[in-house]
Structure 1
Amino acid sequence: MSLEVIGMAIIIIAMMLAIGKWIRLKVPLFQGLFLPSSLIGGFVALLLGPEVIGRFGGDFLGDGGLFTNNIVEIWGELPGLLINVVFASLFIGFVLPKPKEIWQTGGPQVALGYTMSWAHYVIGILLAITIITPLFGLSPAAGALIEISFVGGHGTAAGLSGTFEDIGFEEGYDLAIGLATVGMLSGVVIGMILVNWAARKGKSRTLQHPNDISVDQKSGVVAEQKREASGIQTTSPVSIEPLALHVGFIAIAIFIGYLLLEGFVWLEDVTYGQAYDIYLFEYVPLFPMAMIGGIILQLFLAKFDKRKLVDRKTISRIQGLALDILIISAIASLSLTVIGDNIVPFILLAAAGIISNIVFFLWLGPKMIPNYWFERGIGDFGQGMGVAATGIMLMRIVDPENKSPALDAFGYKQILFEPLVGGGLVTAASIPFIIQFGPVPVLIVATVLMIAFWCLGVFHTGKMKVEDKDPK
């Protein structure tokens, strides 16, 4: 495939991102639902591609719709690459607070988040071994799809595409991307319903009424007088463009992750792999290792970077760009045929993910979070529906002036949460574990861990003593 085709595929997907933003500005419904522009643009590209127009355009448009098959094929490969950028960026430039501060502030979020994630495995595997595998013939690895898609999101689902292929469960990729899309849409729609409910019932101490949300918030455009720099120049462009330097840091993190993964694959092969015919790391994708590479790089920079060359805001902008392109390209290359062929398992998994997130948020949130439970728990609900950005958006709607500890707690949670679940090592290894050891042992372990974090949240974090100041 020529570089010209690859370049054109990237140009078109970037155009779709801009079109998605323009549509959101023009459609009040999309503004009220706070739909991300990447999601809107992805649906536009999907509509114009082979799965919709390509099926009805006849000979005039061809099988690819308005796009060639090569372009759609490239879009399908982009998410698996970009997820490495997203995860490598998680902790670069992130100043780690003291462990006591992390737990005191973020502990309730950790307990709730882990309970929800382990519950997704429990519910998903139960569905797989009782209905999905025996009745519909899908791999038992389908039991991991709820956690992969609803907590991990599009990036994690896309990053595991190679793993799905390696175990012969190719349809798992499209199901996972479809579930992630349902999760994100449900997250913003149901999230706004919950916000309205909380406003009427007085469940939040900081919430402004949804009718009072500003036009700028709904449109997603920052007013000129409120615009701030998205990053600072840590180097002179005469020596190196600061953005290029930060891309280089992310590349180093990914490369460290690559070396780690290759080392683990080799070590596994020469030890228990050959002895017991158990192989796990060969199914693990690069992105969780890229995250560890980012942590290693950050530890090195914190010790030796005396000039403070890393700017966290710049890293976040690069991460955001990668995530936007990842989401739009994943949706644009989605196979509706695969979802249609497995529509009943898809609906079962989607319904289970949505219902469990709502129940755990409304039921366990007040029990596990000692103060500002709605302001803080709505972030975990949003992240549990597919992406951390949804959780942050909902928290900002509920607490626009940051009067509660919600944002700090959510950020601290990621330090103890992301390395393992929600796209971390456990998420990446869940499919190999199910294939190697069977779904029942994994179900037992997930159940024990779910109960453990459930008890931790209800009997410990929910009873923490906190300084609870009145936000008014």
Structure 2
Amino acid sequence: MTPNQIGFALILLTALLLLGKWMRVKIGWVQKLFLPSSILAGFLALALGPQILGRLAEPLNLPWLADGGVFTEEILEVWKVLPGLLISVVFAALFLGSKVMSPRKVARLAGPQLSIGMAYATGQYIIGILLTMLLLAPLFGLHPAAGALIEAAFEGGHGTAAGMKQVFEDFGFEGGSDLALALATVGLVSGIIIGVAVINWAVRKGKAECLDNGLQMSLEEQRGLYKKDENVPAAMMTSRPSSIEPLSLHLAVVGLAILIGWLLLSGLQWLESVLWGEHLQLMEYLPLFPMAMLGGVIVQLYLDKTGNGFLLDQQMMFRIQGLALDLLIISALATLSLTAIAQNWESFLILSVAGVAFSTFVLVWLTPRILPSFWLERGVGDFGQSMGVTATGLILMRIADPEDKSPALEAFGYKSLAMVPFFGGGMITAAAIPLIMQFGELPFLIVMIVLFVASVWWGMGHFKKVKAGDVDDPVEEIMEEAEAQA
């Protein structure tokens, strides 16, 4: 494989992304579903590749398409390794450029919402493991690691699903990543559809506190564009380009965070091999991306401590994350194996229905019983995030609260900071499959049940205290402070 072939494969990804954006702008039903351009581009690449167009080569009498569709084998080889590389970029930038927040404020505002996030994540493990143990493994011979599929796909999204590929393969579940990617797509699409339907239902029933006139979104918002008169800064310049381009500086810091994560992972793997490697191996199968996230935290803490935190801009980090995630999604979907899904279509269907049903139950029944105020506006964000990506949650919050009348976005951000290091691609997600395979499904299931029950019990207990007047609702205090400042 030559450097020119690698470069051309990357250029093709950007061209496909542009086509995906064109589809979002021009096709009405795509706009209604709020599908990201990267998802559309990924499906387009999948259709033009060996899995679909390549298989139609013989019936269409087009033998030159038989190997890779319109793409060469070299291009597909480059795309196959990209997700595992880019997911480390996404997670390394996660906490870079973030401000240090008051722990008291985080706990008071995001505490109840954190219990809901925990319910989503642990519940998805419970549903997946129970189905695998009682139905999918005995009936269809599915791999025991399939119990982690729903959480990795729904809570983790496409990035985590693709990033876990090597872990699945290390334990002999070669089609696991393909199933996870397909489940992530189901979660993302159904998350948008069900989320919008629940918002409509809440408006009709008078349960929405921020929507008086129903759902109203401009054509630009549906197309994923800004209006001409909207001044939305993409990022802030933190260094003079004459010394170093700000984007180059931020990319260099992301690279440093990944390097620190690699050193940490290598050190832990060496320590494990020396101390207990003959009896237990967890770090050996831990992917790089959660450690890259920890590397980012270390870099940010150092910059804050030395008074240099101003050098990093969070919006610039968002742009880097977004680029990496867009390219990751396209390359992952383009190389998706439909054969693995076809061979396990019964299990895939059961896991999809069960995951969607459980998450919808948490939104409609559990969330109103835990969040004492603005349950819809705050709850749809957690629902969208637990069904695919953070962007889905942000879209649903924007629909439910278009004028930011509630503290939903603030609470959502604080809750995410507490959740991401562990679930949805964090340490627990990364370690789940090694733990299940080395200790068995039942011990891991018991731990998840305990966490689920504890989270729901605490959340409902807080709700009852607020309603009884035993404690103050921090949301009301924050709203009063915002009104006073205005």
TM-score tier by shorter-chain length is over 0.9
Cross-structure match for 1:375: 377
Cα distance in 1, alignment partners of residues 203 and 49 from structure 2? 41
Cα distance in 2, alignment partners of residues 278 and 82 from structure 1? 29
Whether 1:47 and 2:50 are equivalent positions in the alignment is no
Shift of 1:307: 7.2
Query: Structure 1 residues 15 and 98, CA, compared in 2 at 3 Å: closer, same or farther?
Result: same
Which string of whole-angstrom CA distances, capped at 9 and with x for unpartnered residues, describes residues 71-130 of structure 1? 122212111111111111111010121111001111121100101111111110011111
1:402 is paired with a residue whose SS is coil
Cross-structure match for 2:114: 110
Cross-structure match for 2:280: 278
2:347 to 342, 345, 348: 345
Cross-structure match for 1:409: 411
Shift of 1:15: 0.7
Cα distance in 2, alignment partners of residues 174 and 305 from structure 1? 44
Cross-structure match for 1:161: 165
Query: Structure 1 residues 307 and 38, CA, compared in 2 at 3 Å: closer, same or farther?
Result: closer
Cα distance in 2, alignment partners of residues 398 and 76 from structure 1? 38
Cross-structure match for 2:14: 14
Cross-structure match for 1:23: 23
Which string of whole-angstrom CA distances, capped at 9 and with x for unpartnered residues, describes residues 359-417 of structure 1? 01111111111110000000010011011110011101111111101000000001210
2:341 is paired with a residue whose SS is helix
Cα distance in 1, alignment partners of residues 309 and 178 from structure 2? 45
Cα distance in 2, alignment partners of residues 109 and 230 from structure 1? 29
Q: Which runs of 5 or more structure 1 residues have no equivalent in the other structure? A: none
Give the stretch that moved more between structures: 331-340 or 54-63.
54-63
2:287 is paired with a residue whose SS is coil
The residue identity in structure 2 corresponding to 1:217 is: E
Cross-structure match for 1:3: 3
- Sequence identity of aligned pairs in percent? 50
Cα distance in 1, alignment partners of residues 379 and 258 from structure 2? 32
1:385 to 387, 392, 404: 387
Query: Structure 1 residues 305 and 247, CA, compared in 2 at 3 Å: closer, same or farther?
Result: farther
Cα distance in 2, alignment partners of residues 115 and 404 from structure 1? 23
1:238 is paired with a residue whose SS is coil
Whether 1:260 and 2:230 are equivalent positions in the alignment is no
Shift of 1:273: 2.0
Cα distance in 2, alignment partners of residues 208 and 86 from structure 1? 37
Cross-structure match for 1:313: 315
The residue identity in structure 2 corresponding to 1:418 is: V
Cα distance in 1, alignment partners of residues 106 and 272 from structure 2? 34
Cα distance in 2, alignment partners of residues 14 and 328 from structure 1? 9
1:75 touches 1:329 (CA, 8 Å); kept in 2?
yes
Shift of 1:322: 0.7
Cα distance in 2, alignment partners of residues 202 and 222 from structure 1? 30
1:57-456 matches, within 5 Å, as 57-58=57-58, 59-207=63-211, 209=213, 211-274=215-278, 277-306=279-308, 308-456=310-458
Cα distance in 1, alignment partners of residues 463 and 436 from structure 2? 31
Give the stretch that moved more between structures: 421-430 or 451-460.
451-460
Cα distance in 2, alignment partners of residues 133 and 4 from structure 1? 45
Query: Structure 1 residues 307 and 98, CA, compared in 2 at 3 Å: closer, same or farther?
Result: closer
Shift of 1:62: 2.1
1:273 is paired with a residue whose SS is coil
The residue identity in structure 2 corresponding to 1:37 is: S
Cα distance in 2, alignment partners of residues 415 and 340 from structure 1? 37
Cα distance in 2, alignment partners of residues 39 and 91 from structure 1? 25
Cα distance in 1, alignment partners of residues 53 and 322 from structure 2? 30
Query: Structure 1 residues 307 and 390, CA, compared in 2 at 3 Å: closer, same or farther?
Result: closer
Cα distance in 2, alignment partners of residues 199 and 306 from structure 1? 46
1:212 is paired with a residue whose SS is coil
2:191 touches 2:392 (CA, 8 Å); kept in 1?
yes
Cross-structure match for 2:469: none
Shift of 1:135: 1.7
1:33 touches 1:192 (CA, 8 Å); kept in 2?
no
Shift of 1:209: 4.8
Shift of 1:460: 2.1
Shift of 1:461: 5.3
1:89 touches 1:319 (CA, 8 Å); kept in 2?
yes
Which string of whole-angstrom CA distances, capped at 9 and with x for unpartnered residues, describes residues 419-468 of structure 1? 00111000000000000000011111111111111111111256442253
Cα distance in 1, alignment partners of residues 212 and 18 from structure 2? 30
Shift of 1:69: 2.0
Count of matched residue pairs: 470
2:277 is paired with a residue whose SS is helix
1:177 touches 1:334 (CA, 8 Å); kept in 2?
yes
Cα distance in 1, alignment partners of residues 308 and 87 from structure 2? 30
TM-score relative to the length of structure 1? 0.97
Cα distance in 1, alignment partners of residues 114 and 54 from structure 2? 45
Cross-structure match for 1:35: 35
Cα distance in 2, alignment partners of residues 99 and 2 from structure 1? 51
2:191 touches 2:384 (CA, 8 Å); kept in 1?
yes
Give the stretch that moved more between structures: 65-74 or 459-468.
459-468
Shift of 1:324: 1.1
Give the stretch that moved more between structures: 210-219 or 146-155.
210-219
Which string of whole-angstrom CA distances, capped at 9 and with x for unpartnered residues, describes residues 124-176 of structure 1? 00111111112222211100000000000111111111111111111101001
Q: Which runs of 5 or more structure 2 residues have no equivalent in the other structure? A: 467-471
2:359 touches 2:387 (CA, 8 Å); kept in 1?
yes
The residue identity in structure 2 corresponding to 1:460 is: H
Shift of 1:210: 5.5
TM-score relative to the length of structure 2? 0.94
Query: Structure 1 residues 461 and 211, CA, compared in 2 at 3 Å: closer, same or farther?
Result: closer
